[in-house]
Amino acid sequence: MAVYTHLSAEDLADLIGHYDVGELVSAKGIAEGISNSNWLIETTGKNGNGARFILTMYERRIDLDDLPFFLDLLDHLSATGAPVPRTIHDRMGASSRLLEDKAVALIEFLPGVSIDRPTPAQAYSVGRALAGLHLASEGFAERRANTLRPQDWQAIVDDAGYEAIASIDASLPDIIRSALPDLLDQWPDHLPRSIIHADLFPDNVLMLGHTVSGLIDFYFACHDITAYDLAVTHVAWCFEPGGQEFRSEVSRALIEGYESIRPLSQNERDAMPLLARGASMRFVATRVQDWLDTPADALVTRKDPVDFARRMQYYQRTGAEVFAR
């Protein structure tokens, strides 16, 4: 989440007036994240008791033709009882609107906090929630292809150019050149697939103590390899900031939590080291793109791609050891 587009109080009040949520009380820009503009919205509520929502304006890396998929998925998962915010539809029943030629959506606010350094108990709960999400999505008929697969990582890197990438860190071009060919050649196509979140970082999980109260930010969700989603989450949760220290106790808890709901097949477990290297490369590539493309005056913190290059190198060194039972 971030703020790239600045809206006046009048613009925001007019927009909120199209929803049956009461009158606008306040709107606060949210600085975390890198793809969309977001505000925490407070209104008087339908009954005057007050209410909170998240307003999202879709800025980049999202094809607006995919927006119905994302918003319908939230509604489907929420209806199954998954800890996922529902979409707030406007007075005409629409799940999104256009404002200044950009699509916006109002999303239910869920209680909870995002954690910076998860405990094993929290990681266990996240593993269970992720597996539950995969099972809950089985009845969702809509499909969206993953637009960030290995060939897309290569295209992002090629478009950025290695000279520009070296301006971020001199070691980064060689790390990418050594990793991408194997990922492109060995990426598995035989594993089970489902709807996946594809971006389940700690800041996309809300927790109350050790309990997951919300899974949010589904704007990379797609139909792809189910175990890849666990690999993405493993990459995101199991390292200290900077990617230089692996937290084995968090890793074990995350996988145990996942398998308490959806056990991995042997083929999936065997593929996890490769999937984790690929998940790391996905974030190297997109963070390179974001680092080079983010405007200097945007209310957003750029994220270092070298962090994920280190994680990728860790999986390369350790192989199956990390995921052994």
pTM of the model: 0.91
CB contact burial 146-166 (16+ within 10 A = b; e otherwise): bebbbeebbebbeebeeeebe
User: How far apart, in whole angstroms, are the C-alpha atoms of residue 43 and residue 20?
Assistant: 10
Contacts of 202 (CB under 8 A, 6+ apart): 114, 115, 116, 118, 236, 237
* CA dist list (Å): 234 to 26, 94, 203, 246, 248: 36, 36, 14, 10, 11
Domain boundaries, the chain: 9-108, 120-323
The CATH number of 9-108 is 3.30.200.20
- What string of DSSP letters covers 218-256? -TT-EEEEHHHHHHHHHHHHSB-TTS-SB-HHHHHHHHH
Question: What pLDDT, on the 0 to 100 scale, is given for residue 1?
Answer: 41
Check residue 58 and report its DSSP letter: -
Question: What pLDDT, on the 0 to 100 scale, is given for residue 3?
Answer: 55
The CA angle 232-41-114, to the nearest 5 degrees, is 30
Q: Which amino acid is at 280?
A: S
User: How far apart, in whole angstroms, are the C-alpha atoms of residue 134 and residue 77?
Assistant: 10
Q: How many helices (DSSP H) and strands (DSSP E) are in the chain?
A: 10, 10
Per-residue pLDDT of the chain (325 residues; tens, 9 = 90+): 455 677 888 999 999 999 999 999 999 988 665 568 889 999 999 888 899 999 998 886 678 889 999 999 999 999 999 999 999 999 999 999 998 788 999 999 999 999 989 999 999 999 999 999 999 999 999 999 999 999 999 999 999 999 999 999 999 999 999 999 999 999 998 999 999 999 999 999 999 999 999 999 999 999 999 999 999 999 999 999 999 999 999 999 999 999 999 999 999 999 999 999 999 999 999 999 989 987 666 656 678 999 999 999 999 999 889 998 7
Are the C-beta atoms of 319 and 21 separated by less than 8 Å? Answer: no
The third-level CATH classification (topology) of the domain covering 120-323 is Aminoglycoside 3'-phosphotransferase; Chain: A, domain 2 (3.90.1200)
User: How far apart, in whole angstroms, are the C-alpha atoms of residue 222 and residue 198?
Assistant: 7
User: How far apart, in whole angstroms, are the C-alpha atoms of residue 280 and residue 244?
Assistant: 13
* Locus of tokens 């971006």: 199
Question: What pLDDT, on the 0 to 100 scale, is given for residue 49?
Answer: 86
Question: What pLDDT, on the 0 to 100 scale, is given for residue 297?
Answer: 64
Question: What pLDDT, on the 0 to 100 scale, is given for residue 90?
Answer: 96
Question: What pLDDT, on the 0 to 100 scale, is given for residue 6?
Answer: 76
Q: Is residue 289 exposed (0-12), middle (13-18) or buried (19+ Cβ within 10 Å)?
A: buried
